[in-house]
Structure 1
Amino acid sequence: MKSFLKSTFPLVVISILYTSCSTTQKIEALKPLPSDDAPMVYNTKTSFVNMPLQITLKEIENQLNKTLSGEIYNDSDLEDDKTEMKITKTGPIRLVEKNGKIETILPLKIWSKFKYGTDFMGLNDTREVNLNGTFTLLSDVKLSNWKMSTTSKIEDFYWVESPSILVAGRNVPITYIINPTLSIFKSKIAKKIDEAIVNSCDFKPYVLDVLEKMSTPFLTSEQYQTWFKLIPIEVYVTDAVLDKTQINMDLGLKCSMQTMVGLKPKNSFDKNAVQFKAVSKIPEKLTANVAAISTYESASQLISSNFQGKEFVSGSRKIVVQKVGLWQRDGKIIIALDMTGSINGTIYLSGIPNYNAVTKEIYFDQMDYVLDTKGLLTRTANWLLQGVILRKIQETCRYSIKQNLDEGKKSLLPYLNNFSPMKGVYVNGTMSDFEFEKVEVTNKAIIAFITTTGKMSVRIDGMD
């Protein structure tokens, strides 16, 4: 017997040492790598948002009246054509649609000084005339580089009072003199109106303001501290089409979308980085691909809440999970469970994150384990490793993103129901349910990619 013990004892010691070494090596291989401050990197999938844009003629009329006020024309050279002229806007400009074009009705006051007679022996004189009348212009409309531009022609003008001057005690009509003179300036006045429309109808700053408002991260769930963030990449626009009381064009927004758990993310919107491109056609559907980001800290907290107040019992033995840690190692998720009770120590579980489409939960598949406890080779440890308790613990290591998805959709809906990011801009739309696509693991977080479809429209009416 002594001889047997002498011969087997070294083998047992070696076996214990070997097993201990092997376990220690496994545990060291599972421990988290040193953290760094590098930004989170993952493969993004862009979203495309179709945003038909309607701009009312009334809105363009309002902007035009703000831009074009007071004196709009001044010719102070009498000698070139024997006429001086100042033209002042006397009332609001009115815009109406006429056969697919814009008709502009422009009330004006005209002061004119003209020379008449002949230069022979100084037989000439000058007279000043004050006139009140209205110009009617007809304009073709187009959109170029986000500026609405027009090509206008003066179709008609009429006088509120017939122009005349007093000569030798008689009122002499001078319409025949004024009208040919005005015809010389028709193209100049039309050009002035076109310039005013270009200056007052540059929509690019408004689009950028709307995008900046939409890019501001907003809270979608207070309970989970979940934030939604939109990052614009490119904006597309089609040609403008005049449709009775409004101008229609299609906008398309290429962007990335994120939901993040934890502190409010920074607004990284950079208006200089957004590219604008002209296209002939834009798809009608909104396709949103959202990256639902769960940092390891937030996922640890969610899983910890699953274990709170729970005891895992088997016969006379029981354990309680006190703390949960989570990190990534070699493409797998490591879950460290600190436990007390029949075993005092840590169990490390490793698995691949997956998604349950029915329960909308992130769970961990192909799970393996390693124990870090003084009783590693005892039967106490064996019943944990081989019994139902381990399976129950593994099943508890999951967290739901259903509420995140529901809250996310609920929080997004107000932004599609006459949402006004700025005065005079209104956003409306519809959205379908979120659908899961895939899960990715990064060095910073677990990312669930989800998709949804819908429609969106933007209306501009009543801006400052």
Structure 2
Amino acid sequence: MNRLRPLFFLLPLLLSGCKVTKPVRPMESYEDPFEEQVSVINLPIDIPVDELQALLNQQLYGTLYEDNNLRDGDKMMVRAVKQGDIEIGIDSQSITYSVPLDLWIRYDLGISTAEATGQITLDFKTGFDIGADWEIRTQTAVAGYEWQQKPRVKMGFIDLPVGFIADLVLRNSKWRIATAIDDVVREQFNLRKTVEEAWKEMFNPILVSEDYNTWLTVNPQFIGMSPVQMGNNRIQATIYVETRPSVKIGQRPDPAFPRPLPPLRISEVEGLDFTLHLNTKVSYDEAERIAKQELIGESFSYGRRSVTIEDLEFFGQGNNIVINTTLSGTYNGSIYLLGTPVYNTLSNKLEIKNITYTLDTKNFLFRSAGWLMKSTIKNKIAENVNFLLDYNLKDLQEQFQEQLREYEVATGVILNGALEAVDIRNAYLTADGMMVDLALKGNLDVRIRGLSSAQD
């Protein structure tokens, strides 16, 4: 025991020679992230029947049927010309069409011919369904006819076969009219093409704010549709998209590889509003870039001592953010501050609360540079870090609202929306940035540009 006693006398001398010159850098560590929530975007589609009617009248006009041969067995020449607008009606299962026609008839009497005119309305009905491949399939059939004015001979009295004439006109014009109706529906409502184009687009990042390098990626997981509803002179349905959207503030994220369009699933949709959960990312690089604009070069004095901020670095330790501040001047080196991201329910802002020096930094400053603790440097950093997050999150709602005006999600398909609120649900740190779970609430409306301009 006596042999060890000299060592105890030497130990204080050895320790006094080990002078600490700078605080120890905190160790990086990160908690498990919150589980991402699936968001559902409802896209209501509303097609006024009068717009469909205008489009069909553009497609069908003039002579719809003409027979110029008296010697083909029916003893007649017939010309059927569209007389007025086609009228469309709907019921719960199908679309009906009334096609008014002016008729000109030349009838073979054997020794001479006679001309007659008349007016007839042909009625058609279109049934449709949507396959698992998102293709609209229609089938238009004749529903009947009604004479508005039976054929009358211009000269003399001749008993014309009125029923035969009606059947002849119907039989020979129904193919063209029914085909035209099916073509209009197929071309103007190419559902698969529209949905597939929108589906692929949702895998590409969208620049929401150029000023703050804010990118939205929708990341669709599934897409389906509600049953089609027809009534009150409108055709309505809702397309719903299950998504895991994310927002990144920083460099443009790489596009995700688009998955194939899933088979159509028809199911009821509850409500038309949406709540979109956005896993918003503020990269440390981007946070540092913006904070440096405000803080680099800032000097702080206390008496005859002063320091200047030369650099900033952000990283995580658990659920706290570490702010590594490099100083030059009376003190040269780093000091480390800790803060906790907290959601303020009253202001609806994300704030960095309880910013303080790390324990090792505090001990170092007490021993070597206590005057720094009396300066305003900590408060200045805290103000600018809060401003960074507050301003971006506050501005995000305005940027998203701007994107929801006249946004073309697919060729000719225009999206408009109203963003009612932005709530912050969770905040946590990852190895490369600060993550915030935002909940955006609002509603959307979809219109088809080509259809809506049919009457222009």
| Aligned amino acid, residue 421 of structure 2 | D
SS at match of 2:37: coil
Whether the 8 Å CA contact 1:60–1:201 is kept in 2: the answer is no
Q: Which deviates the most, 192-201 or 405-414? A: 192-201
Alignment match of 1:103 (pick from 96, 102, 108): 96
Cα displacement (A) at 1:452: 2.7
**Number of matched residues?**
438
**Quick check: 1:321 aligned with 2:319?**
no
Q: Distance in 2 between matches of 1:193 and 1:160?
A: 25
Alignment of 1:58-457 (within 5 A): 58-64=50-56, 90=82, 94-97=86-89, 102-106=95-99, 134-139=120-125, 144-145=130-131, 147=136, 149=138, 152-158=141-147, 162=151, 173-180=160-167, 192=179, 195-196=182-183, 198-204=185-191, 205-209=193-197, 217-265=205-253, 268=256, 270=258, 272-273=260-261, 276-308=264-296, 310-328=298-316, 332-357=320-345, 360-363=349-352, 369=358, 379-381=367-369, 384=372, 391-392=378-379, 395-396=382-383, 398-400=385-387, 401-416=389-404, 425-457=413-445
Whether the 8 Å CA contact 2:124–2:178 is kept in 1: the answer is no
SS at match of 1:304: helix
Q: Distance in 1 between matches of 2:423 and 2:415?
A: 24
Whether the 8 Å CA contact 2:90–2:231 is kept in 1: the answer is no
Q: Which deviates the most, 183-192 or 436-445? A: 183-192
Q: Which deviates the most, 432-441 or 177-186? A: 177-186
Q: Distance in 1 between matches of 2:278 and 2:62?
A: 51
Whether the 8 Å CA contact 2:140–2:182 is kept in 1: the answer is no
Cα displacement (A) at 1:409: 1.9
Cα displacement (A) at 1:357: 4.6
Q: Distance in 2 between matches of 1:31 and 1:438?
A: 18
Q: Distance in 1 between matches of 2:13 and 2:370?
A: 18
Coordinate RMSD, CA, aligned: 5.2
**Quick check: 1:51 aligned with 2:43?**
yes
Alignment match of 2:452 (pick from 453, 456, 462): 462
Change (3 A) 1:57 1:179: same
| Map of 2:13 onto structure 1 | 12
Deviations 1:335-364 (A, max 9, x none): 321101221011234554334455624426
Q: Distance in 1 between matches of 2:79 and 2:357?
A: 86
Q: Distance in 2 between matches of 1:215 and 1:95?
A: 41
Deviations 1:243-298 (A, max 9, x none): 34321223323334333223344555848346642112332322122232211111
Deviations 1:309-335 (A, max 9, x none): 533344443322211012346665333
Q: Distance in 1 between matches of 2:366 and 2:11?
A: 19
Q: Distance in 2 between matches of 1:377 and 1:11?
A: 22
| Aligned amino acid, residue 59 of structure 1 | E
Q: Distance in 2 between matches of 1:269 and 1:106?
A: 48
Deviations 1:184-207 (A, max 9, x none): 679867864664355235342334
- Unaligned ranges ≥5, structure 2: 68-72
Q: Distance in 2 between matches of 1:85 and 1:398?
A: 86
Whether the 8 Å CA contact 1:423–1:463 is kept in 2: the answer is no
| Map of 2:70 onto structure 1 | none
Change (3 A) 1:450 1:112: same
Whether the 8 Å CA contact 2:207–2:214 is kept in 1: the answer is yes
Q: Distance in 1 between matches of 2:116 and 2:237?
A: 43
- Scaled by the length of structure 2, the TM-score of the pair is 0.71
Whether the 8 Å CA contact 1:348–1:370 is kept in 2: the answer is no
SS at match of 1:251: strand
- Unaligned ranges ≥5, structure 1: 33-40, 76-80, 117-123
Deviations 1:378-433 (A, max 9, x none): 9424554x656675466357233332233222233345556666786554443222
Whether the 8 Å CA contact 1:364–1:398 is kept in 2: the answer is no
| Aligned amino acid, residue 12 of structure 1 | L
Q: Distance in 1 between matches of 2:309 and 2:342?
A: 23
Cα displacement (A) at 1:444: 2.2
SS at match of 2:286: helix
Q: Percent identity?
A: 17
Q: Distance in 1 between matches of 2:9 and 2:81?
A: 112
Cα displacement (A) at 1:132: 7.9
Q: Distance in 2 between matches of 1:215 and 1:463?
A: 29
Whether the 8 Å CA contact 1:142–1:149 is kept in 2: the answer is yes
